[in-house]
Every structure is written in C-alpha cells, then in structure tokens.
Structure 1
Amino acid sequence: MSASVAAEILAALDAGTQIEPVTDRIPAFDKQAGYAVAAALRGLRQARGEKPVGRKIGFTNRNIWAEYSVYEPLWGDVYDSTLHDIAPEASIKASHLPEPRIEPEIVLGLGQDIEPGMGVDDIAHSIDWVAHGFEIVQSVFPGWRFTVADCIADGGLHGALFVGPRRLLRDEERVGLAASLSDLQVLLHRDGTRIDEGSGANVLDGPIHALGYLVEVLAGDRLNPPLRRGELVTTGTMTRAFPVSTGERWSTTISGFDLPGLSVEIV
C-alpha cells in the first residue's frame, strides 16, 4: 500500500493535479501509515536523482490548527530540487503546485548532530546558521480537505522552500538564541497591504523548541532517519498560510532579531 500511495502522490505533484484524500478511500490509514508513505515517497524521489537536504515542520503554529482541523505538528522532507536560496528581492515559482499557499518561516542550519533529550540551549549551540524564508505549501487534496495522516503522506504538504540570506552564528550569539528567536516578530504584506502578523513564539513556543520537537519525534521513528549535521530545518509558519496567485508580491518585515525581510513576486 505505501508504495502505491506514494507513487500516486508523486504523480499528482509532478502533474500539478489533485486526488481524493487517502483516508476517504482507506479508512484505517493513520499517522503511522502516513509516515510509511513518506518514506516510500522519499525513496521514489531519491531513485530519480533528488537528494534530501533537510526537513520541514508543519502545523507548529497552534493558531491555525482549527482552520485545517489538524491539531498536531508533523514533518516532511526538503530536497535539493525544492530548496532555493534567494536574495531579499526575488521572483519565485509557485503556479505549478496544486493550490499553493505562502508561509513566512525561520530556517535553521545544523552544524552538529542533534540527539534526543537535548535541551533548547544545547540545541541552540548546534545551530550553524539562521535564515528567514518562505515555504510554499501545496495540497494534492482538493480544497485543502484532509486529515493529519493525509498531510504526512503528502510530504508534509511541502512544495518549495525559498531561503533568504543565511546568517552565520558566532559562539556568543548561540547563548540566548532560543529566547531571541521566540521574541522575533514578523509582518506579512501582499502587494503592499498588511495581511497578517506573527512571531517566533507561534511555532511551538519558538523555532528552537520546534526543532527539539522534531528530534524527539524522529527518535521513535524506525522508518525515517534522524537529523544530522548539514541538514536544514524550516520550523513552520509564523502567520496564517495564504493562497498565492501569479503576479502578486509578498513581503515581510522582521523585527526583534537581525534578519532581513523578504520581498518575492509570484510567477
């Protein structure tokens, strides 16, 4: 079952089409089955030459749980084919994805392996760099109607990750990093009009806390690999996720932490 569902989802992603939720057709399909599909999906993508380079954590923002009827975080893989480094002003492609939405996030680069049981301060000392990025999420399920198991099977809803300038951290900057990223504030604009605002604290109390959550989840997962040095992790949207259309310009203003905002045109 895992292989056939993974192939169906990958075909939909490649074609920009949609399918009915897996849970509508397989009532017993649960989170464990979803992560088995995620592992099969990664295998299919690797077989055609794509390389996993990190993870995305989804639904870390508790403020949006009721909007999607998903009441817990989840994760998916990020690939070299879906990762894009961008300047503070750029054009990004999203129209090829089914029902794309934009999410302003904090991205962390791992300078060391992170082990289960590490506290937030120890995790912070394992971070090599911090960046602000936009994740474009998608849904191969029409109308964004799904369960948490469907989301997991759909690669955590990951479509593409656009990462702004990476700020390399000095040793002394890692002291208090967890609190600093929790205090970060973001304003989100569409075509110059303010649409929403958020904070680092919205993502499971902070990006470092969200990373700690992922480490613990992976520790109990026998199908998917633990986090390792060199990977990046994008920690979830700090605002609501918003539909995007070609020609729109989306921008952010960051305060409370030294990172540049981003301004992107959707193409």
Structure 2
Amino acid sequence: MDFQAIATNLLEAEETRKAIEPLTSTYPNLTVEDAYRIQLAGVEMRLKQGRRVIGKKIGLTSKAMQDLLGVKEPDYGHLLDNMLLLEGEPCRREDFIWPRVEGELAFVLKDTLKGPGVTIADVFRATEGVMPAIEIVDSRIRDWKISLADTIADNASSARFVLGSRMVPIKDLDLRLLGMVLEKNGEVVSTGTGAAVWGHPAAAVAWLANKLAAFDIALEAGEIVLSGAITAAVDAAAGDVFTVSFYGLGTLNLRFI
C-alpha cells in the first residue's frame, strides 16, 4: 500500500473539492495504523508547501459517534495555519465539499505535553486557558461515507476553525458542567455540556497526548487543541449564520457566504 499516493489523492480532493470513494472500499485491508501513517504523510506534504502545524484536533469523543463507527476511542488530526479563520471573517462555502459545523472548547497550551502517562492534572497544569471555538469539518470521502480509517487518513475530516476572543484560565471553569448552545440562523439546533466530550474535555486532551506518544509527537507549548464536538455536527450552506454560546466564555459567530 502506497501511503504517499493515497495522501496525494486526498490532498487533490481537498484542493479540487472533488470527493473520492471511501478508502476502505478501495483498500479493504486498510488498518487504523495505516490510516495514521497516511495522515502524517499528508501533513508532511502540506509542510513542504509552506504550511505550519499550529495544533491538533480530537474527533469522535462522544459515545454516540463511537457507537456509530463501532470504535471505543477518539481519533485526532492536525491543525494547520491556513485552517484558522479570524473571528468575524466570513467563510466561503465554495471552499468545501460538504461542510458541517461543531461547537467545541479549545485548549491553549503554555507547556509541552508528551505521553505516555499524561493525566488530567497534567493537562490543567499545561493549559494557559480555554477559549470557545467553532470547527468546520469536511470530508474528502464521497457523501461522508466514512469508517474510522477513512476519517483518520483524511486528517480527521479537518477543514477550518475559528476561536473566540476571550480566554479564561482553566482553573476558573468547571469544564464538565460548562453549557453550550449552538444556533443556526437564530434557531437553537442543539445544546450540551462539556461532559459530552469523553466525560471531561481535559480527559480528551490527555488521551491525545498519550496517543501521540506512539508516533513520538508531543503537544507543544503554544499549540491549540480542539477537544471535540459537544453536540452533533450541523450542515452548512451559503448564507447560514452559526452562533455558539458558552456559559462563562461568551459567544462566537460564523457566517458562510
């Protein structure tokens, strides 16, 4: 199996906005380990294009999504500098294949975290603060017909994200009970609390630090970590306006054009 060639196909699908067939259909023996190697090959290609890794994202943190894909742990992807949108900056629908929006908590690290053995307490000590975030996910796999290996190879379906303007020290928040409301065009579409994310958003970050240790990768000081969707992703179209509100963290808007 040519990991480099598969990564190239995914990159071309992203650039042309033309989805490809599920990798697990084309390569029935594709494993999760293979998929992470494909993801890393794709990241390396982007770095050679001048991109820069500014953080990581965690996906499949909710039990409902894990049950849907038949898995028992989250997955992760890389955040690159060209994925970050400024607050208030409109997002072009034409830049994506099938975009979906999620509300999340973003951790901003002041110290490096490297597994194995990272705990929730370590995450608290290493975190500068927490910010509200909106993630836009998109799949380069046709019609979102993904298995776990498909989404991992596709950089965990990462596309764009936007951060709120307020950062709060982690010690000042009860992340498990922190409430979130997601609105689309002025109507509430979902609500949830931080406990929906792997039981505790910091537990998801600890999982990530330990998972990355297998690839000798650390969560570096200064990186942003998106800890996972609190509620289900919502489809986005041109003209849609999304609002995510977190108790104690403020409100964040995203407009598609």
TM-score normalised to structure 1 length:
0.90
Q: Identity rate of aligned residues, in percent?
A: 26
Q: Deviations 1:191-215 (Å, cap 9, x if unpaired)?
A: 1111111111111012111100101
Residue in structure 2 matched with residue 154 of structure 1 by the alignment: 154
TM-score normalised to structure 2 length:
0.94
Q: Residues 69 and 192 from structure 1, CA distance in 2 versus in 1: closer, same or farther, beyond 3 angstroms?
A: farther
Tell me the secondary structure at the aligned position of residue 227 of structure 1: coil
Residues 1:51 and 2:52 are matched in the alignment: yes
Tell me the secondary structure at the aligned position of residue 28 of structure 1: coil
Residue in structure 2 matched with residue 214 of structure 1 by the alignment: 208
Q: Deviations 1:164-215 (Å, cap 9, x if unpaired)?
A: 114153xxx53x75xx111111111111111111111111012111100101
Tell me the secondary structure at the aligned position of residue 236 of structure 1: coil
Matches of 1:253 and 1:168, distance apart in 2: 14
Residue in structure 1 matched with residue 113 of structure 2 by the alignment: 114
Residues 1:244 and 2:236 are matched in the alignment: yes
Residues 87 and 254, structure 2, Cα contact 8 Å, conserved in 1: no
Q: Which residues of 2 match residues 60-71 of structure 1 at below 5 A? A: 60-67=61-68, 71=72
Matches of 1:69 and 1:15, distance apart in 2: 31
Residue in structure 2 matched with residue 229 of structure 1 by the alignment: 221
Q: Residues 189 and 155 from structure 1, CA distance in 2 versus in 1: closer, same or farther, beyond 3 angstroms?
A: same
- Structure 1, gaps ≥5 residues long: none
Residues 85 and 165, structure 1, Cα contact 8 Å, conserved in 2: no
Q: Which residues of 2 match residues 63-82 of structure 1 at below 5 A? A: 63-67=64-68, 71-82=72-83
Q: Deviations 1:49-69 (Å, cap 9, x if unpaired)?
A: 000111010111223334455
- Structure 2, gaps ≥5 residues long: none
Aligned length: 255
- CA RMSD in angstroms comes to 1.6
Residue in structure 1 matched with residue 144 of structure 2 by the alignment: 144
Amino acid aligned to 1:214: L
Amino acid aligned to 1:149: A
Residues 1:127 and 2:117 are matched in the alignment: no
